[in-house]
Amino acid sequence: MGKNDSYEVFVEMERDGNGEMGAKIKKKKEKKKERMENMKKEIDIDDHQLSFEELEMKYTTSVTKGMTSTMAAQVLERDGCNELKPPKGTPEYIKFARQLAGGLQCLMWVAAVICFIAFGILMGQGNLTSYDDLYLAIVLIAVVVVTGCFGYYQEFKSTNIIASFKNLVPQQATVFRDGQKFNINANQLVVGDLVEVKGGDRVPADVRIVSAQSFKVDNSSLTGESEPQSRTPEFTHENPLETKNIAFFSTTCLEGVATGIIINTGDRTIIGRIASLASGVGNEKTPIAIEIEHFVDIIAGLAIFFGATFFCVAMTIGYRFLEAMIFFMAIVVAYVPEGLLATVTVCLSLTAKRLARKNCVVKNLEAVETLGSTSTICSDKTGTLTQNRMTVSHLWFDNHIHSADTTEDQSGQSFDQSSETWRALGRVAGLCNRAVFKPGQDAVPIPKRDVVGDASETALLKFTELAFGNIVDYRSRFKKVCELPFNSTNKFQLSVHELEDPLDLRYLLVMKGAPERILERCSTIMIKGQELPLDEQWKEAFQTAYMDLGGLGERVLGFCHLLLNEKEHPRGFGFDVDEMNFTTSGLCFAGLISMIDPPRASVPDAVMKCRTAGIRVIMVTGDHPITAKAIAANVGIITEGSETVEDIALRLRIPVEQVNKRDARACVVNGSQLKDMTSEELDDLLRNHPEMVFARTSPQQKLIIVESCQRLGSIVAVTGDGVNDSPALKKADIGIAMGISGSDAAKNAADMILLDDNFASIVTGVEQGRLIFDNLKKSIAYTLTKNIPELTPYLIYITVSVPLPLGCITILFIELATDIFPSVSLAYEKAESDIMNLKPRNPRKDRLVNESLAAYSYFQIGAIQSFAGFTDYFTCLAQEGWRPLLCVGLRSAWENAYNQEVQDSYGQEWTFAQRLYQEYTCYTVFFVSIEICQISDVLIRKTRRLSLFQQGFFRNKVLLSAIVFQLCLGTFLCYCPGMPNIFNFMPIRVQWWFIPVPYGILIFIYDEIRKLGVRRHPGSWWDKELYY
């Protein structure tokens, strides 16, 4: 982003001042898209390559005195404050309005309006039943508002990612202006300011280093590297993220002091670009949201189609317009599963709570199911796959490589510690070490204690504490006389100590550092406690061990010691590390120690489970390619026997260019290679190499990798903890942040947070996500079935002119009262088989609602329920004196409020009020029939393939409770006093409860036959048509 970006809007308005509003809006959209694409590109700055003179000229400043106050004020006015600007958020009232105006909700609003109109007209005509329409309208509106509030509450989450970035801005910064040193608010800093940063400070902006003394920064939140990075004035790399002479905004200075010129402020800093990138990335629609939208479209389309059809038929037969509109509204009410949205939300909430118990906190409910659909996981390395602590992993002494215990709880095997060489090596590692434990941690296990010191020294401190016991006591026995800290020039650290034996007056010099630098200062090597001359044979053995350990992606340090000559260095000798008035050559080489951030114990098993479940795991890290490859091989992302192009070239002893890239199953790509790739080349790479590792990646590249996976049709989950991960977390189908090590920015951008930072918890999430999809499918199949027995009464009512078999309010009671609990109870159903052995579902083919499900629910089980309802309906009328043939064509006389003497089959005369109560009895009988059949329906929905006898009737206790609740509520509605006048329910004869029971048994037997055919003949016509 250029420095003139802050003027873009102003210039655009100037140019578009001719009133062409449409063109201006289009231009703004194009500009925004162009800016987003530019942000995804790599950072293009050259300030790290400029000399100090060029830097002074470019920013009108001085590397010794800083800017003038006048110039600083002008730049501040031009560029604005050094802070991150929050993006425009969606107002809360709009979010709430969206919840009230979805597809199904709009249909219900239309139905409610029709009811109000009907109520008004019928009331004007003095119709006694007009209040039914008013009640119905109120209930419909209540349903929309309650489900809307519930949805808004459940889905509400903070989308303002920028808020957490604000916390990164330091309050105060030290700046030089007019040659004077000031402390000012960091947001007042400008490009060109000369600032000073010291240990413990946050870097106040992107700074080009001018001078530095032992200056180290923690870049882990930006690049993912756990090692402290030294910063010097020298230009070391063309890539600004790699060079040592730039310190980035928001990174922390660990030690040392530096001065530098600010080259970027606010939104133009690297972190600012990431913040803009994260807020500019749209939230992807979750697969379950797409599925529900698809389902709503189908239901809405069918409801309108059937409603319009009934409206036309009614008008053709001769009904008045208002009556025909009421039919339309009744069809909509009957067809729209009002309780479905609540059912889906409750099912997702239940699973979210279940996951919370397993250390996964779900912020976006729909993310639960998305995790189940996941086909690719792009995982960060540091802290997710690894323990996020440097640990001693291998030692080389006595010409053998020994493995150390890297487990989190120190439960692994350790090496033989009886060798004299090990004692000498351990002594150097313990004494030549400046790290110390923070006080008051005696009760904390050693591997988990906090330490003051860098990552490598921390690892060595913990290792020697475990080996020797209290390291403070151990060090006190060897009094330190002088010390030379590690620096990038010498690449070693040394200290001189008195020996623990008070009679031995010699001094002990101990040294550690880069292995090759240590070796060149040695003339002997210790083997099994004896000093041997360091000849070519031992140098070759050293080189082999060094290459082996380095090839494992581990950080290797060399250790040596020397007992100084007592005559040359008598007790009380004045050691001077500046003059180096003591010998630092002819030392005795003790051995090598290598360190790595080791994998978590549970990760290899989790990766294997992902592979079995058909999920691809890709490592995306900011760390070194060799380290990344080693960890990937350790955890199983690169499997045993898989080779990269480089491995094949090494094996065949041919140049890399001659290897056919498609022969390599694994591939390690670093950021500089990725930078030069086109989208097509990246897609091709991901398509042809099943095992991928991306190393040294920038935040922009993580986002590009996610987009590439999505282009290939994958449902992508991304894990991350740093600021650098937030754009990719937001772009992914599901973003998973770390709860312990995660930054606020990462947590805000994510849909799910792992409280234990453990990759293995994701596998649990995948399992639950797959289960919820299966159970939602069962729940929807159960919910849809009753649409047909709710719809057919109106079809028969209009076409055959019988008294209305089922009222609208009764339908709403089925949808929102008796059927909610059973449909939710299916969320508690256990998996039918090992769902983790199945491939991830294909979102384009494996829909939540497919043709087989709709056909089976509507035209088979739904048809049986309709027959049950009408059998009970006509039985009820016949026993009260209305034989079926008499009911045909009876509607107009039945509903005439002024006709008080309609005769039944036995010549008895019925008043309008009596007929009305008989109609309410019919509603209740039809309601009871649906309820009895729905008990069979909920039982058969427990499984889609297995027999109910295999799954077990009584494993799901919640479902059994739901059936009992359904029967109790149905009984209460039928027999509670006052119900006829409020909700149109009547007390009915006991035998009418048993008429639908044979139909319920038929549903059960019919479904068992279907499942048997599906199991016996997989892939057959039967399986394709009847398995939903």
Residues with catalytic roles:
380
Tokens read off for 738: 């770390």
Q: What backbone phi and psi angles, to 5 degrees, belong to 658? A: -85, -10
As a whole number of angstroms, the distance between CA 952 and CA 974 comes to 32
3 state DSSP class of 77: helix
C-alpha separations of 661 from 28, 376, 519, 647, 667 in Å: 43, 22, 39, 11, 9
3 state DSSP class of 734: strand
As a whole number of angstroms, the distance between CA 197 and CA 215 comes to 9
Q: Longest Cα pair distance anywhere in the chain, in angstroms?
A: 136
Let me know if 571 is exposed, middle or buried by CB neighbors in 10 A (0-12, 13-18, 19+): exposed
As a whole number of angstroms, the distance between CA 208 and CA 235 comes to 10
Tokens read off for 930: 């649906």
Residue in the block written with tokens 């390599």: 664
- Cβ atoms of residues 746 and 757 within 8 Å: no
Sign of the alpha-carbon dihedral angle for 227, 230, 235, 241: positive
| Region at 424 (left for phi over 0; alpha for psi -120 to 50; beta for the rest) | alpha
As a whole number of angstroms, the distance between CA 902 and CA 975 comes to 28
As a whole number of angstroms, the distance between CA 593 and CA 461 comes to 12
As a whole number of angstroms, the distance between CA 38 and CA 169 comes to 25
Q: How many CA atoms lie within 13 A of 370 on its CB side?
A: 26
Q: What share of the chain is helix, strand, coil (3-state, %, to 5)?
A: 50, 15, 35
C-alpha separations of 358 from 12, 361, 578, 721, 735 in Å: 52, 9, 57, 19, 18
Task: Tell me the pairing of strands 587-596 and 555-563.
Answer: antiparallel
- Cβ atoms of residues 724 and 275 within 8 Å: no
As a whole number of angstroms, the distance between CA 769 and CA 362 comes to 12
Contacts of 161 (CB under 8 A, 6+ apart): 275, 278, 279, 726, 730, 745, 748, 749
- Cα 60 from chain centre: 46
Tokens read off for 881: 């004196």
- Cβ atoms of residues 193 and 261 within 8 Å: yes
Q: In this structure, how many other beta carbons lie within 10 angstroms of the beta carbon of residue 241?
A: 21
DSSP summary character for residue 187: G
Let me know if 256 is exposed, middle or buried by CB neighbors in 10 A (0-12, 13-18, 19+): middle
As a whole number of angstroms, the distance between CA 254 and CA 248 comes to 13
Angle (CA) 164-170-171 rounded to 5° is 115
| Region at 593 (left for phi over 0; alpha for psi -120 to 50; beta for the rest) | beta
C-alpha separations of 807 from 919, 924, 1018 in Å: 9, 9, 43
Contacts of 250 (CB under 8 A, 6+ apart): 165, 168, 169, 202, 203, 221, 222, 269, 271, 723
